[in-house]
């Protein structure tokens, strides 16, 4: 089977973790390939996510690398298992890969922790609100691209309404509640929907009011996706120019600390729900 041209972030992560495991053991790619009866080029494809790898080979490599972390090895095996196409795959070749990588992260995560300062989190946007947000991109999106992004966002939203959806903890700044994307009517409907989803057992929404004192974040949106084991956690950082995925241990520790620090200055769940309602009533 030829190497993948565009591996997903999840496929790349599997390869990267196998490479880190090998490097930690002080082994060369040539030595690892020899163990598998392969060659360094094929090993390079595996470690870049361009080629798949079987459960048996993952476990052989882990033993060869003297990796005693059974939960991590099991989690890597789980990533490698053949799966049905995820719902987001229908947008492959239509939407930018980072949008699909986020959907994949969300689908396989057990817990998501997000901070949003200027927008309502994408997973909780109404259709009209999302269309307004995407309609304000520079350069302007062609109509078909805009509609594809809105449709994808609505499927992301619907995923979190399922019984099997992961837990989602979102921290939203008051600024995001007051930014008028679209008309007053659109924002009011958006805030009403936000109150509605905040009642769901898997969703926690907390608000940072303008009057909050203390650390309120850097202003960038972030989503911290917890993996099957802590080593497989991932942080998505979104800025105007790009979406970045981070998984180095130092980055993960940093953003866990950031989320906890920001959460410490938020209103409680009930207070936040009431605060959102009061903002909506002012419109």
Q: In a structure prediction context, what are the per-residue pLDDT tens digits for the chain, which is 283 residues long?
A: 677 888 999 999 999 999 999 999 999 999 999 989 999 999 999 999 999 999 999 999 999 999 999 999 999 999 999 888 899 999 999 999 999 999 999 999 999 999 999 999 999 999 999 999 999 888 899 999 999 999 999 999 999 999 999 999 999 999 999 998 889 999 999 999 999 999 999 999 999 999 988 777 666 789 999 999 999 999 999 766 567 899 999 999 999 999 999 999 999 999 999 999 999 999 8
User: How much is the pLDDT for 242?
Assistant: 64
Cβ-Cβ contacts under 8 Å for 42 (sequence gap 6 or more): 33, 51
Distance of alpha carbon 247 from alpha carbon 256, whole angstroms: 12
Contact 103, 166 (CB under 8 A): no
How many residues are given for the chain? 283
The answer to whether residue 174 sits within a structural domain is yes
User: How much is the pLDDT for 3?
Assistant: 76
The answer to whether residue 33 sits within a structural domain is yes
Q: Crossing angle, helix 9-24 and helix 97-108, to 10 degrees?
A: 70
Q: Which residue's structure tokens are 């594809």?
A: 148
User: How much is the pLDDT for 238?
Assistant: 77
Same domain, 232 and 249: yes
Same domain, 106 and 242: yes
How many domains is the chain built from?
2
Contact 134, 192 (CB under 8 A): no
Q: Cis link prior to 222 (omega < 30° from 0)?
A: no
Distance of alpha carbon 126 from alpha carbon 119, whole angstroms: 12
Same domain, 124 and 175: yes
Among the three residues 80, 107, 140, which one is the final residue of a domain in this structure? 80
Residue 243 has a CB neighbour count (10 Å cut-off) of 16
Distance of alpha carbon 100 from alpha carbon 22, whole angstroms: 29
Same domain, 38 and 113: no
Among the three residues 80, 109, 138, which one is the final residue of a domain in this structure? 80
User: How much is the pLDDT for 218?
Assistant: 66
Contact 14, 80 (CB under 8 A): yes
The answer to whether residue 202 sits within a structural domain is yes
The answer to whether residue 2 sits within a structural domain is no
The answer to whether residue 1 sits within a structural domain is no
User: How much is the pLDDT for 166?
Assistant: 96
Among the three residues 30, 58, 80, which one is the final residue of a domain in this structure? 80
Beta strands in 81-173 (DSSP E): 111-116, 167-173
User: How much is the pLDDT for 72?
Assistant: 97
Task: Find, among 269, 276, 271, the residue nearest to 174 by Cα.
Answer: 276
Domain enclosing residue 67, as ranges: 9-80
The answer to whether residue 64 sits within a structural domain is yes
Torsion of CA 187, 192, 195, 199, to 10 degrees: -140
Torsion of CA 250, 113, 120, 281, to 10 degrees: -130
Q: Which residues of 120-149 are buried (b: 16+ CB within 10 A; e: fewer)?
A: bbbbbbbbbbbbbbbeeeeeeeeeeebebb
Distance of alpha carbon 15 from alpha carbon 137, whole angstroms: 34
Distances 45 to 18, 72, 264 between C-alpha atoms, Å? 12, 21, 44
């Amino acid at each position: 089977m030829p190497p993948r041209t565009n591996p997903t972030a999840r496929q790349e992560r599997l390869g990267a973790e196998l490479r880190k495991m090998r490097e930690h053991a002080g082994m060369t790619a040539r030595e690892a390939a020899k163990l598998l009866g392969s060659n360094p080029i094929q090993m390079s494809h595996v470690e870049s996510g361009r080629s798949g790898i079987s459960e048996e080979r993952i476990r052989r490599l882990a033993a060869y690398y003297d990796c005693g972390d059974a939960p991590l090895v099991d989690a890597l095996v789980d990533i490698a298992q053949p799966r049905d196409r995820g719902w987001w795959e229908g947008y492959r070749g239509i939407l930018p890969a980072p949008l699909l990588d986020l959907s994949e992260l969300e689908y396989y995560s057990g817990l998501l922790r997000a901070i949003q300062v200027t927008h309502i989190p994408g997973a909780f946007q109404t259709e009209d609100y999302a269309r307004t947000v995407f309609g304000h991109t520079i350069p302007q999106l062609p109509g078909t691209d805009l509609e594809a992004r809105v449709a994808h966002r609505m499927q992301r939203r619907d995923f979190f309404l399922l019984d099997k959806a992961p837990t989602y903890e979102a921290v939203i700044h008051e600024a995001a509640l007051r930014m008028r994307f679209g008309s007053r009517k659109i924002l009011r409907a958006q805030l009403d929907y936000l109150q509605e989803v905040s009642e769901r057992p898997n969703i926690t929404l907390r608000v940072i009011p303008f009057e909050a004192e203390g650390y309120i974040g850097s202003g960038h949106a972030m989503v911290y996706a917890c993996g099957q084991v802590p080593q497989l956690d991932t942080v998505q950082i979104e800025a105007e120019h790009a979406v970045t995925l981070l998984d180095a241990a130092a980055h993960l520790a940093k953003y866990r600390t950031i989320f906890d620090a920001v959460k410490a200055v938020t209103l409680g769940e009930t207070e936040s729900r009431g605060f959102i309602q009061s903002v909506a009533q002012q419109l």
